[in-house]
Structure 1
Amino acid sequence: MHGENALEKTNRINVLFDFYGPLLTEKQQTFLKWYFHDDFSLGEIAAEFEISRQAVYEHLKRAEQVLEGYEQKLGLAARHEVLEAGLSQLDRQIALLESPVREKLQETVNRLRGAEQSQSADEL
């Protein structure tokens, strides 16, 4: 993979993997981790598993499709992105307030962030 599109794709797969990785087979998890996270080549993965580069490519493509299918049906990554953007906006707005109010609101935002993170983990 090369260029900006490759980086975007890698980031997308890594985000989806964070949400839906446990729903993949062990082999799909391994191939995705090695290829997208650890930057192994198709040839390196193929050699390790004693299969062809084409077989590795097919496993990766299928795993990507499965991740995208889960996101299309469940939308957890999109939901998380919207919530995180809203919380970041609240952070900026809270920073403009007076101290006593600012601290209480910031505690609430932090609680919401914590709840969102633990709920994402609990859903899987």
Structure 2
Amino acid sequence: MHGENALEKTNRINVLFDFYGPLLTEKQQTFLKCYYHDDYSLGEIAEDFEISRQAVYEHLKRSEQILEDYEHKLGLAARHERLQEGLAQLDRLIGELPAPWRESLRGTVETLRGAEAGTPPEGAARA
């Protein structure tokens, strides 16, 4: 991988991993973490796991394809991105409103952000 394309691919795999990583096997998770999070080379991973570079490459490619398949079927990463763009636009529009209206609307935006992140709104009882 070279330059900007490598960075885009790394960012994409990391986003997909955030959404679908728990659905992968432990070995798939480990190889992806080593390569994309910890920036290990194929050779370093191969040495650590006592397998060939080709085997590492094939594990990574298969894991990447599984992540892409999950995204194709479920679309969680794309949905998250659309939601974040909508919330950012809403924030900008709220900033243009008269001051008295801003606070409650910003609170609503934060509630939506928290729902997306899986955190309960302030004051909500935890189960």
TM-score interval (norm. to shorter): over 0.9
Larger radius of gyration: 2
Q: How many residues align?
A: 119
Q: Which residue of 2 aligns with 1:59?
A: 59
Name the CA distance, whole Å, in 2 between partners of 1:98 and 1:18.
38
| CA displacement, residues 65-107 of structure 1 (integer Å, 9 cap, x when unaligned) | 0000000000000000000000000001111112220011000
Name the CA distance, whole Å, in 1 between partners of 2:71 and 2:107.
30
Q: Percent identity?
A: 77
SS of aligned partner of 1:55:
helix
Q: Does 1:90 align with 2:77?
A: no
Give the superposition deviation at 1:111: 0.2
Q: Which residue of 2 aligns with 1:116?
A: 116
Root mean square deviation, CA, Å: 0.9
Q: Which residue of 2 aligns with 1:45?
A: 45
More helix by share: 1
Unaligned runs of 5+ in 2: 120-127
Q: Given the two structures, how large is their TM-score scaled by the length of structure 2?
A: 0.92
Name the CA distance, whole Å, in 1 between partners of 2:98 and 2:107.
14
Name the CA distance, whole Å, in 1 between partners of 2:13 and 2:54.
20
Q: Which residue of 1 aligns with 2:3?
A: 3
Name the CA distance, whole Å, in 2 between partners of 1:14 and 1:95.
32
Q: Which residue of 1 aligns with 2:30?
A: 30
Name the CA distance, whole Å, in 1 between partners of 2:15 and 2:78.
10
Q: What amino acid sits opposite 1:104 in the alignment? A: S
Q: Given the two structures, how large is their TM-score scaled by the length of structure 1?
A: 0.94
Q: What amino acid sits opposite 2:102 in the alignment? A: R
